[in-house]
Structure 1
């Protein structure tokens, strides 16, 4: 299954929102993802793909964190 589809489904499940999600959808500005939701996404990605989202996020500067997109997360899953 396409990683974008999976990440979008996880985000909908975590947030309880039925929003349109594209590669360009920003976690902060477009989805308003809260820290607890980001932690839940990290847990889901670790369980499903073995991805360490907190380590990835730790390597980003504040501007990169603000501009983080669903496509960035999907790319992390496939890397």
Structure 2
């Protein structure tokens, strides 16, 4: 399965958004500004990424500075989960 499609599905599950929302998700979509993820949604996404890929999203986020957190994209997540 295409990693972007899979991540978009996980994002949809975490946010409860519909298919139209998902169609606009690109690798350049920023979690904060473009997708407007809230902290509870980010936590749900972190759990989904841990279950699916074994990655620790909170630990990854803890290593980022404020600008990197604000600019975090779906493409960044793809790089995180791709071996």
Same fold (TM over 0.5): yes
| 1:13 equivalent in structure 2 | 13
Q: Match of 2:41? A: 37
Counterpart check, 1:72 vs 2:37: no
The residue number in structure 2 matching 1:25 is: 29
Q: Quick one: distance in 2 between partners of 1:55 and 1:65?
A: 12
Partner SS, residue 10 of structure 1: helix
Residue 32 of structure 1, CA deviation: 0.7
The alignment partner of 2:64 has SS state of: coil
SS state of the match for residue 11, structure 1?
A: helix
Runs of 4+ in 1 over 4 A off after TM superposition: none
- The size of the alignment, in residue pairs, is 79
Alignment TM-score, normalising by the size of structure 1? 0.94
Q: Which residue of 2 aligns with 1:3?
A: 3
Q: What's the TM-score once normalised by structure 2's chain length?
A: 0.90
Q: Relative contact order: is structure 1 or structure 2 higher (C-alpha 8 Å, sep ≥ 6)?
A: 1
Shift in Å at residue 52 of structure 1?
A: 0.6
- The 1-side partners of 2:27 and 2:45 are apart by 16
Partner SS, residue 80 of structure 2: helix
